Homo-oligomer: A and B are copies of this chain.
């Protein structure tokens, strides 16, 4: 049963009007008598007519996609972000088109160019390999772009929580619980998120009069594996610490593993705080105290802003807050 697709012509024929009339009623453009409107609507629904998005896009000069460029498709954090994007895209005529390139700058540039060229009327970019200048170059048509994961700029709308404050909260909580030797397991030093969270950590230390000790900092790569290796490294160094602040939950997962292998009890020997509050965090043993990032909401907001921009409106994001979720991975000393 390879029946031909119903076109606007079929509708116009059945309704006994011209195609432009059909177009007008379907798009509510131009004046239409109530009479013909009804006839056309009837015909359209009788035939189950669905406009061909290609033809429509061709004349309207719209590709119809909301591009999403993220570093990784797998992994709990970015998946939740996508869920948020989809929450809003679902209710629009746009489709979500995803691309992920492991945060490799050249590949991301290519992917972004491809999206803008072939699929999307605007792009949500979560990453910081490509800076606004790079993006401008890739985006000659000046399509809307929304940024996440990099410093807020004027060039493009950005959605972000305050990582510095989140990290400050986490670290201060550890300090308030009597810890003074607090290690920080973090990601690639080049990344903006790394810098922000590190500076929140330092501010909390400063404020409590605790000197900053560079030996307590380990850089890894924000993965479980990275956290595991990073912590092994730290435990190998001859530095004492009673608490560990992890740059994200995935690294905390790896850290737990390394800690266990070194026979360190959590939280008796080492207290741990994470960042993100991925869903696994509450099922860790012990359940992980962490900073909640409203990642799904961030996806929603990003999509709202982008689609608004595509449609020529200015959209102002609702403010998003990071919040400390207290569970059982921190011990008062």
**Bound form: Cα–Cα A5–B83 in Å:** 32
Is A254 positioned at the interface, with any CB of B under 8 Å from its CB?
A: yes
Q: A55 and B58 in contact (CB under 8 A), knowing A96-B98, A118-B95, A140-B3?
A: yes
Which of B140, B254, B296 meets A1, CB within 8 Å? Answer: B140
Is A237 positioned at the interface, with any CB of B under 8 Å from its CB?
A: no
- Comparing A30-38, A127-135, A277-285, A306-314, the segment that makes contact with chain B is A277-285
**A58 touching B52 by the CB < 8 A rule?**
yes
- Comparing A12-20, A71-79, A182-190, the segment that makes contact with chain B is A71-79
Task: Give 14 A-B contacts (CB < 8 Å), ordered by A residue.
Answer: A1-B140, A2-B142, A3-B141, A5-B141, A50-B118, A53-B63, A53-B119, A74-B79, A74-B296, A90-B99, A224-B280, A253-B283, A254-B283, A256-B283
**A224 touching B283 by the CB < 8 A rule?**
yes
Is A117 positioned at the interface, with any CB of B under 8 Å from its CB?
A: yes
Interface of chain A residues 45 through 81 with chain B (CB within 8 A)? 50, 52-55, 57-58, 63, 65, 73-76, 79-80
Which of B57, B100, B142 meets A54, CB within 8 Å? Answer: B57
Q: What per-residue 1/0 map shows which CB atoms of A241-275 lie under 8 Å from chain B?
A: 00000000000011011001000000000000000
Is A148 positioned at the interface, with any CB of B under 8 Å from its CB?
A: no
Chain B's closest residue to A285 (CB) is B285
Chain B's closest residue to A86 (CB) is B73
Count residues on chain A whose CB falls below 8 Å from chain B CBs.
47
Measured CB to CB, the residues of A under 8 A from B are: 1-3, 5, 50, 52-55, 57-58, 63, 65, 73-76, 79-80, 82-83, 86, 90, 95-100, 117-119, 140-142, 224, 253-254, 256-257, 260, 279-280, 283-285, 296
16 additional A-B pairs beyond A83-B100, A96-B98, beta carbons within 8 Å, are A3-B140, A53-B63, A53-B119, A54-B54, A58-B58, A73-B83, A74-B76, A74-B279, A75-B76, A75-B79, A86-B99, A90-B99, A256-B283, A256-B285, A260-B285, A280-B280
**A79 touching B86 by the CB < 8 A rule?**
no
**Bound form: Cα–Cα A304–B247 in Å:** 38
Contacts of A257 in B (CB 8 A): 283
Contacts of A90 in B (CB 8 A): 99
